[in-house]
Structure 1
Amino acid sequence: MRPRQPDLPRLGFGAAALGNLYTPVSDETAQAAVDAALAAGLDYFDTAPHYGFGLSESRLGDLLPNSARISTKVGRRLEPIDAPADAVRHGFAGAAPFEPVFDYSYDGVMATFEASLARLGRERVDVLLAHDLGRMTHGDAHPAQLKAFLEGGYRAMVELREAGLVGAIGLGVNEWQVCLEAAAHADFDVFLLAGRYTLLEQSALDSFLPTCVAKGVSVIAGGPFNSGILVEDAASGAPLHYNYEPAPKEIVERVARLRAVCRDHGVALPAAALRFPLAHPAVISVVPGLASAAQVNQALDWLDAPIPAAFWRDLRQAGLLHAEAPAPEDERPA
């Protein structure tokens, strides 16, 4: 089967924060962020039922025009529970009273997709992704969860695509290994890979990205700041975060080396982090998490910042870029 490449812009809006990830985001702040994105022509938004247990999708459903492009996800049912309104659960503050339950079955995917369409106020979405498959999430249960998906949920996603309710299908995950494992048994159009092909971490170049190029599968690069450490202020004294946890010493030291090369060339580290993944031929879009109009505008400025070729050359000479990593050209992107 020939993959269907999604028609997506180079920069997307990661909407987990609109589900109150870690901290509440007011309706006014969410609207201002979305309005700023749309005003700048940024019209691709990535969400999931898991983000605030429906809150992110509902907000986008209220705020987006039908012309905006959306990716959302399947793989978790939202089951009603009794929970205090101000509780922080699974990282979401003041989340709706639901508990996310993994369900990669045919019926589970069909039901959760229908619920997502209702929250989004849409008849279709541009990209549908199976969320958080892999050993990092499921540990010893991974083989059973992947089997359930390949035997059930994948079939549902194919049917939804063939019915025109979905433009492209794939996985939305934090580990490239499960993409290769799943691709050995099924065909996909796109993978959203979060945090594994970044200025800090490039092991995806060894086998995953070459396989995507060979198969014609598109890649959306999520988490370009590695959950914070490539955008956080190292001089503030506040903890630096990597993989949603305090960064280990070796990661902090590697980022310090990246910052030093940035200083030498007058380059903002977050600008380099946004631009880097887009140089790879498999990567069609980079999707940072955005929570406010200021963050939207800052991301747009970073994406357009000129970065000299000597910067990328010095990173490579310092052993901070994989030998096979393509580097952006030293001019403003088109």
Structure 2
Amino acid sequence: MSATPLKSRRVGRTDLEFTELGFGSATLAGMNGVDVKDDTARQLVSAALDAKIGYFDTAPHYGFGRAEHLMGDALRYRTDGVALSTKVGRKLKPVRSDAERTVEHPWTRPFPFEISYDYGYDGIMRSYEDSLQRLGLGAIDVLLVHDIGVQTHGEEGNKQHWADLSNGGYKALDELRSSGAVKAIGLGVNEVPVLMSAFDIGDWDVFLLANRYNLIEQTPLDELFPTAAKRGTSMIAAGPFAAGVLAGTDIWGPANGAYQKAPPHIADKVSKLRAVADAHGIPLGAAALQFCVAPEVVCSVLTGPKSVDELDGVLKWWNTEIPGGFWDALADQQLVAEGTPLPNGRTA
């Protein structure tokens, strides 16, 4: 495993910096039948620290508190030089048994809680305090409003949540930032339109966007990335493998956020991308990972390995030298959108 220091990028106009390669923790809670034991999760976070990864992301939603708890265990005495984000918008309420659960979830080994949504002033303040307790840490660097938008709540359901965020939730976040309790605020979502709407509410330091900027899709370049750059808002590119289809699985994360088997048009594009990668003797996963940090507005690319072996693979891909001719071929074959920044300094 590489221990070479990773480059860092500034977050918005703050003094905070993220390593270009970050660590996401949804998989620590076990997803869709994959069971990650507690000791494995702690070892995985520790291994990421040993590899000099300096940005970690978590959320109350992941395992209903489990991911925060396990990440806090691993980070507790190793926080120097580490930036941590967690999320707000979901509060946790206890359940005595699985029979009491009313919310479907993908977690293999969840804590005995389930979620309720609250994007208002009091809900966000409560969520922040609760996360500190679950993490067992004295500080959180970044708070991200989690999964607000029509994708999660529907058109009608989102109206009230958006009003709560606009009329009180943003005030809570801004107060926490102004007081120095947190260093940055933003949103963490899977859809572009909600981020554009967020600029109408106030000033944000960073947005986490999952599965929407990768070798398959570059739509954020049209409006979101330019607007974010003008507003001083950095972007975190989560899901560089498009839920797995760019890393060797057949699972794809479409715009509606529902992971599914890649449809024919996506599988066909992946085949074309892989053919170019094979012709240049590189793993497609390495190209997918490095592609995401080419835009200057992106401050980190976030992956979610489930084991130390997977983390080793991510680091190997991160350190793979990719010839400039590979990126030239993607542009020449129009496999990425016109105007896409490429890691070799070229624009498609």
Q: Does 1:66 align with 2:76?
A: no
Q: Does 1:109 align with 2:120?
A: no
Other structure's SS at 2:164 match: helix
Match of 1:184 in 2: 200
Match of 1:212 in 2: 228
Match of 1:289 in 2: 304
Supply the AA of the counterpart residue of 1:177.
Answer: P
8 Å Cα contact 1:33-1:294 kept in structure 2: no
Match of 1:142 in 2: 158
Match of 2:42 in 1: 31
Other structure's SS at 2:142 match: strand
8 Å Cα contact 2:170-2:201 kept in structure 1: no
Match of 1:318 in 2: 333
**Offset at residue 144 of structure 1 (A):** 2.2
Other structure's SS at 1:254 match: helix
Supply the AA of the counterpart residue of 2:79.
Answer: N
TM-score, normalization by structure 2: 0.89
Q: Does 1:55 align with 2:70?
A: no
Deviations 1:156-196 (A, max 9, x none): 11111112111100000101211111112211011011111
Match of 1:194 in 2: 210
Match of 2:95 in 1: 81
Deviations 1:43-79 (A, max 9, x none): 2211000000000000011111232321100000111
Q: Does 1:13 align with 2:27?
A: no
8 Å Cα contact 2:22-2:55 kept in structure 1: yes
Change (3 A) 1:89 1:5: farther
Gaps in structure 1 of 5+ consecutive residues:
234-238
8 Å Cα contact 2:29-2:109 kept in structure 1: no
Other structure's SS at 1:94 match: coil
Deviations 1:108-147 (A, max 9, x none): 1111110100111122211110000112111112222112
8 Å Cα contact 1:3-1:188 kept in structure 2: no
Supply the AA of the counterpart residue of 1:110.
Answer: M
> Counterparts of 2:162 and 2:109 in 1: how far apart (Å)?
31
8 Å Cα contact 2:23-2:55 kept in structure 1: yes
> Counterparts of 2:253 and 2:269 in 1: how far apart (Å)?
12
Other structure's SS at 1:8 match: strand
The equivalent position to 2:176 in structure 1, one of 160, 170, 179, is: 160
**Offset at residue 28 of structure 1 (A):** 2.2
Deviations 1:289-330 (A, max 9, x none): 122111111111111111111111111122211111110028
Supply the AA of the counterpart residue of 2:289.
Answer: L
8 Å Cα contact 1:61-1:119 kept in structure 2: yes
Supply the AA of the counterpart residue of 2:107.
Answer: F
Deviations 1:251-273 (A, max 9, x none): 11111111111111112111111
